A and B are shown apart, each in its own frame.
Chain A
């Protein structure tokens, strides 16, 4: 740890020298930036299940960051030629793979941002490693990005399965009930989530009294078998933890309400939920549900000001993925500004160990060991309909989970 800080300091000093004196080892001629421009690539789902929670509005968020960066630095900016490239990976790993290579090679992208869907996210990490170009993942949940698949050029920015399970699992066990029934979609993401939740619940003194893997994709759209089973288990679970996402989550919650499980003493906890999910289910359908959020637009004045600007651009309030894309783009541009170069190795060194506070990251720090970006997370609860006073303000933050507790310690599997 101390060694990496030292390296970072040394490289920062070199950059400083290069910037002032010109002709230092980093400048390597006149050109500090490849092609005298910066290209940010946003690779995500623009037509499928995750296009609402991130998608084109994340591209807008990155464009906002570029505009803010230019306004802030004006003539002092390292370049005025900053462009945003974007592509739709359709949540397919093979498409993500080829689009990422195309972005780095043909579009000249210095960095790729976002990339939801864990399987696609891992493919892009491989491309970044091979091309030696930066990659900030925002949209994907898998901890493998900072575990066995970690690499020097990949950073995991917003959240992961550990953060979700740790926050929701621990606090719900302490505050709502010790006995859980877990319902998960039976594929990689769902199985990961089930394991992470079981670990977090057990660690908090709770127990999982039953768990079921529902078919994925669930073609019948029906979850009643599982929902009916929950209250009959012995001991009776006080919490139903659902790991379904997107439209499947909507199905589970609709049917949870139909069978009136809350009235039967079974509360609801959701593994992964975005503000856009609450919007489509309506807060009434989810009132009282707890989940872990990486960021909430109406948490404080800073967030709210960003959300107001975002709404002017897009007509909707930002999800945490939107805010994280803005933040990641901004932090990258600032790093290039400070270093005076877009050389990937230099930027990686400058970022490692950096402590950041901005609109998305609170008490944020880029861990040098595994490139996990840690920051405060939030245990959130959906408000009852009566307390919702304006559109999209559906959540109250029960508790801030400090950055150090929100994420797992660096994995021994990660060798950068």
Chain B
């Protein structure tokens, strides 16, 4: 029982990263119809930025948790203005290639300056201990991540459901043409939403720095799973991305714990789930079937 609870907890912590990243991808896809392949690179920049801030300027984790998402959000907005919006009217493949190229450029820039070796980043001392849950104890930092990620997801949900901006974003996600027809200037929200999605990736990166290897390729490994998460949740579905994020975290943790005699299954379980979901609901668990054009 203790083991099960621990594994469940860990699954939720992994899921927190998936959820934050998938959420960013989902709002970007919803608003821009862009599959942002560079999302993993921004996650990496978040973690690396935290490392550089700490090692070169002595800026602590808590400040990085604010500075990096804001900074990367602005960078994301600049990129959207500079290149991405020029391609949004074309076949989605163009932006797919563009963002993939951006990934390679960002990775190699970091690589050429800092090398491929992982950089050290210590857990902030206030979160270094463990929390006693009676049956088992758990690293404080992991508890913090889980709480923080849930808080961010709730905050985003509140923004989307209770503010005017949120309403526009939801409307534009569901029916972009109709929203425009009502005289709402959708275009004006595109850039901030892109920046916001990138900021979420940066935030996840900063959170990952103390517990994951900080190196130029850290995002490239993770993003594959995150794409599977987004597809399972339903492309563009904001709730779906969060639910699938936490769900896949759980499935992975349980798979590793209870299917360890079948490594082939436990290693590919995310994609098995994806295949099953797509066969059963081609638009993903919470996605809506596209109306035929």
Tell whether A and B belong to one assembly: yes
Interface residues, chain A, with chain B CB atoms under 8 Å away:
47-49, 51-53, 186, 212-215, 217-222, 224-226, 228-229, 232, 246-248, 250-251, 254-255, 258-260, 276-277, 279-282, 284-285
Rounded to whole angstroms, the CA-CA distance of A51 and B215 in the bound complex is 13
The contact sample of 22 A-B pairs, CB cut-off 8 A, is A47-B111, A52-B115, A53-B117, A220-B222, A221-B222, A222-B10, A222-B13, A222-B14, A222-B252, A224-B7, A228-B3, A229-B3, A247-B118, A247-B213, A247-B217, A251-B213, A258-B211, A259-B139, A276-B117, A280-B117, A280-B120, A282-B120
**Chain B 254-293: CB-based contact to A (< 8 A → 1; otherwise 0):** 0011001001001100000000000000000000000000
Rounded to whole angstroms, the CA-CA distance of A276 and B117 in the bound complex is 8
Q: Is the CB of B218 within 8 A of A221?
A: yes
- Is B122's beta carbon under 8 Å from chain A? yes
| Given A213-B263, A251-B213, A258-B142: A232 touches B3 (CB 8 Å cut-off) | yes
User: A247 — which chain B residues lie within 8 A by C-beta?
Assistant: 118, 213, 215, 217-218
**Shortest Cβ distance from residue A279 to the other chain B in the assembled complex, whole angstroms:** 7
Of A214, A222, A255, A260, most B-chain CB atoms within 10 Å = A222
Rounded to whole angstroms, the CA-CA distance of A248 and B10 in the bound complex is 18
In the A-B complex, list the 4 residue pairs whose CB atoms are closest, starting with the nearest: A250-B213, A52-B117, A215-B267, A247-B213
Q: Is the CB of A220 within 8 A of B3?
A: no
From B116, B122, B142, B224, give the contact of A52 (CB < 8 A).
B116
- Is B119's beta carbon under 8 Å from chain A? yes
Q: Is the CB of B211 within 8 A of A255?
A: yes
Q: Is the CB of B221 within 8 A of A219?
A: yes
From A48, A228, A258, A276, give the contact of B123 (CB < 8 A).
A258
Q: Is the CB of B10 within 8 A of A225?
A: yes
| Given A52-B116, A219-B221, A251-B212: A282 touches B256 (CB 8 Å cut-off) | no
Q: Is the CB of B213 within 8 A of A215?
A: no
**Shortest Cβ distance from residue A358 to the other chain B in the assembled complex, whole angstroms:** 27
Q: Is the CB of A220 within 8 A of B217?
A: no
User: A215 — which chain B residues lie within 8 A by C-beta?
Assistant: 256, 263, 266-267
Q: Is the CB of B120 within 8 A of A285?
A: yes
A212 and chain B: residue at smallest CB distance: B260
From A48, A218, A248, give the contact of B116 (CB < 8 A).
A48
Give the number of chain B interface residues (Cβ < 8 Å).
39
Interface residues in B199-225 by Cβ distance below 8 A to A read: 208, 210-213, 215, 217-218, 221-222, 224-225
Rounded to whole angstroms, the CA-CA distance of A269 and B222 in the bound complex is 27
Interface residues in B103-124 by Cβ distance below 8 A to A read: 111, 115-120, 122-123
Rounded to whole angstroms, the CA-CA distance of A137 and B8 in the bound complex is 45
User: B232 — which chain A residues lie within 8 A by C-beta?
Assistant: none
User: A212 — which chain B residues lie within 8 A by C-beta?
Assistant: 260
Interface residues in B4-22 by Cβ distance below 8 A to A read: 6-7, 10, 13-14
User: A248 — which chain B residues lie within 8 A by C-beta?
Assistant: 213
User: A280 — which chain B residues lie within 8 A by C-beta?
Assistant: 117-120
Of B13, B14, B120, most A-chain CB atoms within 10 Å = B120
A274 and chain B: residue at smallest CB distance: B117
Rounded to whole angstroms, the CA-CA distance of A285 and B212 in the bound complex is 13
Q: Is the CB of A219 within 8 A of B212?
A: no
User: B260 — which chain A residues lie within 8 A by C-beta?
Assistant: 212
| Given A254-B213, A259-B139: A220 touches B252 (CB 8 Å cut-off) | yes
Q: Is the CB of A51 within 8 A of B225?
A: no
Q: Is the CB of B141 within 8 A of A258?
A: yes
Rounded to whole angstroms, the CA-CA distance of A251 and B208 in the bound complex is 11
Of A224, A232, A281, most B-chain CB atoms within 10 Å = A224
B138 and chain A: residue at smallest CB distance: A259
B2 and chain A: residue at smallest CB distance: A232
- Is B130's beta carbon under 8 Å from chain A? yes
- Is B32's beta carbon under 8 Å from chain A? no
- Is B34's beta carbon under 8 Å from chain A? no
Q: Is the CB of B210 within 8 A of A228?
A: no
Rounded to whole angstroms, the CA-CA distance of A270 and B134 in the bound complex is 32
- Is B238's beta carbon under 8 Å from chain A? no
- Is B253's beta carbon under 8 Å from chain A? yes
**Chain B 112-150: CB-based contact to A (< 8 A → 1; otherwise 0):** 000111111011000000100000000101100000000
A215 and chain B: residue at smallest CB distance: B267
In addition to A219-B222, A221-B213, 18 A-B residue pairs with Cβ atoms within 8 Å of each other are A47-B116, A212-B260, A220-B222, A224-B253, A225-B10, A226-B256, A228-B6, A247-B215, A247-B218, A251-B212, A255-B211, A258-B123, A258-B211, A276-B117, A279-B117, A281-B118, A281-B120, A282-B120
Rounded to whole angstroms, the CA-CA distance of A225 and B252 in the bound complex is 10
Q: Is the CB of B212 within 8 A of A221?
A: yes
**Shortest Cβ distance from residue A223 to the other chain B in the assembled complex, whole angstroms:** 9
User: B123 — which chain A residues lie within 8 A by C-beta?
Assistant: 258
Rounded to whole angstroms, the CA-CA distance of A137 and B6 in the bound complex is 45
A260 and chain B: residue at smallest CB distance: B130
**Shortest Cβ distance from residue B36 to the other chain A in the assembled complex, whole angstroms:** 18
Rounded to whole angstroms, the CA-CA distance of A224 and B211 in the bound complex is 11
Rounded to whole angstroms, the CA-CA distance of A168 and B24 in the bound complex is 45
**Chain B 221-242: CB-based contact to A (< 8 A → 1; otherwise 0):** 1101100000000000000000
Interface residues in B76-98 by Cβ distance below 8 A to A read: none
